[in-house]
Amino acid sequence: MKKTILSISVAISCAYASEGLLLQEAKQNFGPLPKTFPSETNTLTQAKIKLGKMLFHEKRVSIDGTTSCAKCHPFSYYGADNLEKSRGNFGKLNPRNAPTVLNAAGQISQHWRGDRKDVEEQARKALLGKGSFGAPSNEWVEKKLQSIEQYTVLFKKAFPNDAKPISVANYAKAIGAWERMLSTPSRFDEFLEGRSNALTQEEKAGLKTFIKTGCASCHSGALLGGTMNQKFGMVAPYWEYTKSKKIDEGRYNVTKKEGDKYVFKVPQLRNIAMTSPYFHDGSVTSLKEAVKIMAKVQLGVDLSQEETQSIYLFLESLTGKLSQDIVTVPLLPETN
């Protein structure tokens, strides 16, 4: 009898110790998601956020009148678009997969190749992007916005000290402000804050596998990614394992540095289960398959089916809560 009690309590202590260790390891690698993603150059005011939310859904600034930020980042699909590659104005194919806009502001940079320094620059440059909004010029966009009476009022409220409140720079700042609010904490954050049973035993086992396998060496921080650039295919060429139709040289095409060949920003993993398909070219639909490929080409590890499933279950715990504000669409002003 005594022996049984002893072994039970040893088992419990071990479980506690191992749980404590897991939390400690998790805290070393990751961090809880901040409530917002502030910026030194773009103060988050209510008026700016409100306007930004409207502009995020505004199609009238695109050449075909169908393209808004929400077109490629609909919140129904967790801020991504479920396509291999996005389709912008007149259905034009974009060169890469649209990553989710949720929590995106918390990354070191924007776009797969990190060639947009922040969400504001991304929003601003997308306007003139041939495959995105396709607007002919900044002046054209400003004229469009000026033609909608209510925006005159709203831009003035959001940028009260500007001599010319309606500008593409302010359009980008407003959208940036809105995007800096798109934080979607999940049960994983509760776990990181010490509530051990916020994750199931299976999810905790998955977290352990995730760290043990080496995934966390790149997928780290509050977003489990978005903190660095890395070569896709450290161990083996990615295109031999993905279903990529062509080879994308990644950051090399931006910097022309040999060391940047096949380098991409490490994508964040927040809401990853909801934002299929995967990789810069959306070439893989199944998250489990994506996990297996990553382990193989980045770490040289052949994951077993059980390990893959285990990591998959952990990744599902990163599906966050979208606030009522995020899922409420704004009503846009009348065309004058």
Is 43 near its own copies (CB under 8 A)? no
Is 181 near its own copies (CB under 8 A)? no
Least Cα distance to 30 among 307, 296, 268 occurs for 268
Query: Does 215 show up as a binding residue in the annotation?
Result: yes
Listed in sequence order, the residues at least 6 apart from 14 whose beta carbon sits closer than 8 Å to its beta carbon are none
Is 309 near its own copies (CB under 8 A)? no
DSSP secondary structure, 226-267, as one string: -S-EEES-SSS-GGGTS--SS---BTHHHH--GGGTTEEEPP
| CA 245 remoteness from chain centre | 24
Q: Mark residues 192-211: x for contact with its own copies by CB under 8 A, - for none.
A: --------------------
Question: What is the closest distance, in whole angstroms, from the C-beta atom of residue 297 to its own copies in the complex?
Answer: 22
Instruction: Provide the 10 A C-beta neighbour count for residue 136.
Output: 10
CA distance 286 to 191: 26
Q: Map the footprint of its own copies across residues 57-86, applying CB under 8 A.
A: 57, 59-60, 64-66, 70-71, 74-78, 81-83
Question: Which of 268/298 has CB closer to its own copies?
Answer: 268
Contacts with its own copies by CB under 8 A: the residue count is 38
Is 144 near its own copies (CB under 8 A)? no
CA distance 184 to 274: 13
Least Cα distance to 106 among 259, 215, 269 occurs for 269
Is 150 near its own copies (CB under 8 A)? no
Question: What is the closest distance, in whole angstroms, from the C-beta atom of residue 327 to its own copies in the complex?
Answer: 5
Residues engaged in binding its own copies (CB under 8 A): 57, 59-60, 64-66, 70-71, 74-78, 81-83, 87, 89-92, 273-274, 276-277, 285-286, 322, 324, 327-332, 334-336
